Amino acid sequence: MANTEMQWAWPKADAHRDWSQPAGDDPHTLYDMLMQSVERFGDHPCFGWIQEKGMGRVNLSYLEFSSLVDSVARGFVSKGLIGGERIALITDNCIEWAASAYAANRLGAAYTGMYTHQHGSEWKFIIDDSSPTIIIVANTGVLDRLSANLSDKAEDWPSGGVILLGEEEANELPPEGVEVENWSAFISASRTAPALERPRSDHNSLASLIYTSGTTGNPKGVMLSNWNLLSNVVAVQSVFEIYVGDRNAAFLPWAHSFGSTFDLHYMLRSGVHINLISDLRRIADECQVIKPHCMLAVPRVWNKFHDRVNAQFQTSGFKRFMSGQANLYSAKRIRKSGIDCDAVPAKGFSDKLFDTLVWKKVRARFGGNLRFALSGAAALSPDIAGFIQKVGFTIYEGYGLTETSPLVSANGWMGKGKSRLHTVGQPISGVKIKIDTSVWDDPDNPDDGEIIVYGPNVMQGYWNNPEATADVMTDDGGFRTGDLGRLSDDGYLSITGRVKSQFKLENGKYVSPAPLEENLKLSPLVEQCVLDGRNRKHTYLIIHPNKEAMEPALKASGLILSGDWTEICSDAAVRSWLLDELREKAMEKPTWKGFEKPDAIILDAEEWSTDNDLLTPSLKVKLRNLMSRHEEEINSLN
């Protein structure tokens, strides 16, 4: 392609076609999709990454990446991997992760991604359950932990052994008889291995086995076929402002379905130059170099962006004035346009002036070229979405689950000007939604019910777990999401909570905590929070406060403080002050109803993380563990 500027990679798919299987030139497997992209974008940059701290970015073309994939596939064959088997990956996003996943797919095998920060016991469960033939691990530290948690019998380990990324020699070795080979030696040997057979092409074969990090019990392995994943990709190809040769900033973990389907597979389908972020603490700094056109992130990233920008606006009277004027003019312009989510260009002298003096500088934090952003994996606050639109970015929210590959619906794909705040858009092509109101009996919200999803994106089931599969699948092939929602007359979906997280107060009123918790996180004082109140007259909060914001706010309040941070968080006066502060400034109508506002608060000085077993690897709160941690305090509440 000689001129790729602002060109979509492929024609838009027909929304009314048969979506049960590939049609026409649709790819049948992930590897097939890759080869179509290689044929079209061969010499274009495919991946960019920083090999070591302080070094420049290294780039690999689509053609070079496909060559690496084939080398890895030959190496896998030499280690005994065949179609129908699996590989396991315990690495962060890297070129080796992508090459291994696509190499396995070429052979008709599936990949299972895990997080490097997961507990070793979870690795053991997933490996024992999925029985991979080969494991690829990030470094010697991961291998040490793996060796400490897996069996000391060689026959219980993958028969193809372990591939260790990097050049360091292993510290703790697996049992004798389990081969450990460094990546460079593996690749060197694979380049001279025998030629491969023709790629597998079964669109129904298992492509990915993703283990959901459930907040209770062991994770479940979600079986996603090639067409499960590809139907998601094809349904929204060439509908967003993502063009051939665009650059993205990729940091969503590929072990998560949102990250793998859209920050990897979808970008490869779209001819994008995928740039890996090497340090999640320096996303904005690396974006200065990458200058991305598109970026996918979870709400936590957008929330922090909002907080940091607004904190900068408060550092001087001049900045407060300038940002206030920029807010005023951008809000007026967007309100007049009647457009949600899409960026609306500045109009008029004053609007353009403040856009240049304020918002343009904010946009420059992400390199100055960002035209498309997508938020997923959790609810995005409409206030945050509105702020990002004022900045001048287009941002859409998508909804989905691992079991739906993941995308069910999204704003943006229907076309410019058709997105709607307080919704997650309309179901994507091929997907249908029903609302089962029989599971929910809130008289104040009679149209709410459990969301049931139908379509080619619905999983094949849970691996080795037919009972769990039967629990979530309807007789007519629908997937019970466990999410509460409602559909508008014109097909827009709104998410109102989780079936299992809803609770009823003693007065009979139902509370859906998820949107209220997301709303509270807009306060700079709140880092993490949970709202509960089941079997009580009133709700209560458990909060891990933002120390950097809390300490100066407490000092300004005139409270006399003593002790360390843990003692401050235990101080009754501090808790009372924060509760009053949040009730007055954060819990506003119509988001909060009177009966939803808490009458008590518990402050937790320690950040909730995977290390203290209060978060899942995908950063969801383990509610049972948190409640157990604060059981005595909860029981003491009036």
Both structure tokens of 246: 């665009």
- Report phi then psi at 221, rounded to 5: -85, 115
Looking at residue 216, its pLDDT comes to 61
2, pLDDT greater than 60: no
- pLDDT tens-place string over residues 44-83: 999 999 988 878 899 999 999 999 999 999 999 999 999 9
Half-sphere exposure of 72 (CA within 13 A, CB side): 27
pLDDT at site 4: 45
Residue type, 440: W
Q: Which of 596, 568, 572, 602 is nearest to 583 (CA)?
A: 596
**Which stretches within 42-149 are classed as H helix?**
62-78, 95-106, 120-130, 140-149
Check whether 534 has a pLDDT greater than 90.
no
CATH homologous superfamily of 503-636 equals ANL, C-terminal domain (3.30.300.30)
The beta strand positions in 463-553, using DSSP E, are: 479-487, 493-498, 503-504, 510-511, 526-532, 540-545
Q: How far is CA 538 from the centre of its chain?
A: 33
Q: Quick one: pLDDT band at residue 222, thresholds 50, 70, 90?
A: very high
The answer for residues whose C-beta is within 8 angstroms of residue 124's C-beta and 6 or more apart is: 149, 150
Q: How many CB atoms lie within 10 A of CB 554?
A: 21
**Rounded Cα gap, residues 305 and 315, in angstroms:** 16
| Mean predicted confidence (pLDDT) in 15-35 | 97
Task: Give pairs for 31-36: CB < 8 Å, separation 24+.
Answer: 31/69, 31/102, 31/105, 31/106, 31/199, 31/200, 32/199, 32/201, 33/230, 33/233, 33/265, 33/268, 33/269, 34/65, 34/66, 34/69, 34/102, 34/268, 35/66, 35/199
With beta carbons less than 8 A apart as the criterion, state whether 11 and 24 touch.
no
Tally of CA atoms within 13 A in the half-sphere of 114 that contains its CB:
27
Above 70 in pLDDT, residue 499? yes
Two structure tokens written together for 228:
């499960």
Separation CA 606–CA 626 (nearest Å): 11
How far apart (Å, rounded) are the C-alpha atoms in residues 90 and 368? 34
Query: Is the CATH code 3.40.50.200 the one for domain 30-294?
Result: no
Q: What is the pLDDT of residue 279?
A: 87
Burial 131-154, CB ≥16 within 10 A → b, else e = ebbbbbbbbbebbbbbbeebeeee
Tens digit of pLDDT for each residue in 401-454?
Answer: 999 999 999 999 999 999 999 999 999 999 999 999 988 777 778 899 999 999
Measured distance CA(624)–CA(125) in Å, rounded: 20
pLDDT, residue 638, reads: 63
pLDDT reported for residue 32: 98
Mean pLDDT, residues 564-592 taken together: 93
* Residue 64 structure tokens: 């070079």
CA distances from 508 to 134, 441, 505 (A): 54, 11, 5
Q: Is the dihedral of CA 66, 71, 76, 80 positive or negative?
A: positive
Q: Is residue 1 pLDDT above 60, yes or no?
A: no
Assess whether the region 30-294 and the region 298-498 belong to the same CATH fold. Answer: yes
* Residues sharing a CB contact under 8 Å with residue 429, sequence separation 6 or more, in sequence order: 13, 14, 15, 17, 19, 235, 236
Domain boundaries defined on the chain: 30-294, 298-498, 503-636
| DSSP code for 466 | H
- The dihedral region occupied by 388, where left means phi > 0, alpha psi between -120 and 50, and beta the remainder, is alpha
Question: Do residues 586 and 519 lie in contact, with contact meaning Cβ atoms separated by under 8 Å?
Answer: yes
> Contacts from 487-491 at CB under 8 Å and sequence distance 24+?
487/433, 487/435, 487/447, 488/423, 491/426, 491/427
Strand order in 407-410's β-sheet?
57-61, 45-50, 273-276, 247-250, 294-297, 372-375, 395-400, 407-410, 426-427
DSSP codes joined into one string, 565-621: HHHHHH-HHHHHHHHHHHHHHT--TTTS-GGGS-SEEEE--SPP-TTTTSB-TT--B
Question: What whole-number distance in Å separates Cα of residue 220 and Cα of residue 209?
Answer: 9
- The pair of structure tokens assigned to 342 is 């899409």
**Mean pLDDT (whole number) for 329-348:** 97
Give the whole-angstrom CA distance, residue 224 versus residue 586. 41
Q: Where are the alpha helices (DSSP H) in 292-430?
A: 299-313, 317-337, 349-354, 360-363, 382-391
> Using an 8 Å Cβ cutoff, are 71 and 190 in contact?
yes
DSSP string covering 365-399? GGTS---EEEE-SSPPPHHHHHHHHHHT--EEEEE
Q: Which two tokens stand for residue 203?
A: 């669109």
What is each CA distance from 253 to 119, 159, 215, 481, 594, in whole angstroms? 16, 27, 19, 22, 39
Residue 373 near residue 396 (C-beta atoms within 8 A): yes
% the chain with pLDDT above 70: 99
Task: Report pLDDT for 481.
Answer: 96
For the record, the structure tokens of 455 come out as: 């379509």
The reported pLDDT for the residue numbered 194 is 87
pLDDT tens-digit map of 441-495: 777 788 999 999 999 999 999 999 999 999 999 999 999 999 999 999 999 999 9
Q: Which two tokens stand for residue 611?
A: 């290390």
Contact 36, 9 (CB under 8 A): no
Q: Which CATH superfamily is domain 298-498 in?
A: ANL, N-terminal domain (3.40.50.12780)
Please give the share of the chain, as a percent, with pLDDT higher than 90.
80
More confident residue, 518 or 575: 575
CB 127 within 8 A of CB 147: no
User: pTM (2 decimals)?
Assistant: 0.90
Q: What is the pLDDT of residues 162-198, one digit of tens each?
A: 999 988 888 888 999 999 999 999 999 998 888 899 9
Query: How far is 569 from 177, CA to CA, in rounded Å?
Result: 52
109 or 380: which carries more pLDDT confidence?
109
How is residue 534 annotated by DSSP? T
- Identify whether the C-beta of residue 134 lies closer than 8 Å to the C-beta of residue 163: yes
Which has more pLDDT, 619 or 259?
259
Averaged over 252-269, what is the pLDDT? 96
